[in-house]
Amino acid sequence: MAAATKPHTLVVENLHAEVAGKEILKGVDLTLKSGELTALMGPNGSGKSTLAYALMGHPKYKVTKGTALLDGEDLLKLPVDKRSRAGLFLGFQYPQEVAGLSLSKFLWTSYMVNRTAQTADVAAFDRDLKTHLSYLGMDESLLKRSLNEGFSGGEKKRVEVLQMATLDPVFAILDEPDSGLDIDAVRSVGETVAKLRRPDAGILVITHYQRILQFLKPDSVHVMVDGVIALSGGRELAEELEAKGYDFVKVGVQGVS
């Protein structure tokens, strides 16, 4: 009988954060669980990306209040590298180019961060890498090129998902993996992320639009407005947003405030 996988949680409570002295997050409460795919939606400027960067520890985003506990450990007290080692991953909305560092070298170095020469499995790494490239419709020749240099927008987004697949994080946050992609690329990225779901890990996908959620099939959908989670529901909530837009959520928040 196979051993049960260890459940994980990422619990964010009353999180406040500011950028250049301006408060963006105004008390975010959000719980992520292993085995679940969660979607975070909301209009521009609502604080979705700020939440992602604050959790990852970007120095531009200053947390002023609240907690973020990964399996009971306070992420906010850890430097960025230790947050990553603890199992947190962030896929960027605007991936950076790194000249002179090949994609293959970058992925291998990332894979080895929590491993030694004795625990590394080169054959499994190569096999899984080829499988994930196939899922994403990526040519192996991209591995020889410098990280993201000269890549199209769609290729850069695929590389972010490829990194997630390589690192096997406990919780992955993907910041708008569908932005700037055509419908075929959205399908490829969405279906790949769905295939990478694991019972011992959770995924948070930040997006404006419902189209990628057709392929992801999230367990829950949350809507952020003006720095707080204003509404939560199931997949049907994303469809309602597609039909009505975000105005009906904003009206509800204003009515409460």
Do the domain assignments include residue 84?
yes
Please give the pLDDT value at position 212.
93
Half-sphere exposure of 196 (CA within 13 A, CB side): 32
- Sorted by sequence, the CB contacts under 8 Å of residue 253 that are 6+ apart come out as 225, 226, 228, 230
**pLDDT band of 70, cuts 50, 70, 90:** very high
Do the domain assignments include residue 148?
no
CB 252 within 8 A of CB 240: no
Domain CATH for 219: 3.40.50.300
Do the domain assignments include residue 71?
yes
Helix (H, G, I), strand (E, B) or coil at 225: strand
Which tens digits make up the pLDDT trace of 107-152?
999 999 888 888 889 999 999 999 999 988 899 999 999 999 999 8
* pLDDT averaged over every residue in the chain: 91
Do the domain assignments include residue 141?
no
Do the domain assignments include residue 230?
yes
| Residue 18: domain span | 9-97+171-256
The neighbouring-strand residues paired with 125 are none
Please give the pLDDT value at position 253.
55
Please count the structural domains in the chain.
1
The mean per-residue pLDDT over the stretch 86-101 comes to: 94
65 φ/ψ angles, rounded to the nearest 5 degrees:
-165, 150
CB 177 within 8 A of CB 159: no
The mean per-residue pLDDT over the stretch 218-235 comes to: 95
Do the domain assignments include residue 59?
yes
Do the domain assignments include residue 129?
no
Do the domain assignments include residue 120?
no
pTM: 0.91
Helix (H, G, I), strand (E, B) or coil at 189: helix
Sheet holding 88-91, edge to edge: 88-91, 171-175, 202-206, 37-41, 220-225, 228-233
Which tens digits make up the pLDDT trace of 160-213?
999 999 998 999 999 999 988 888 889 989 999 999 999 999 999 999 888 999
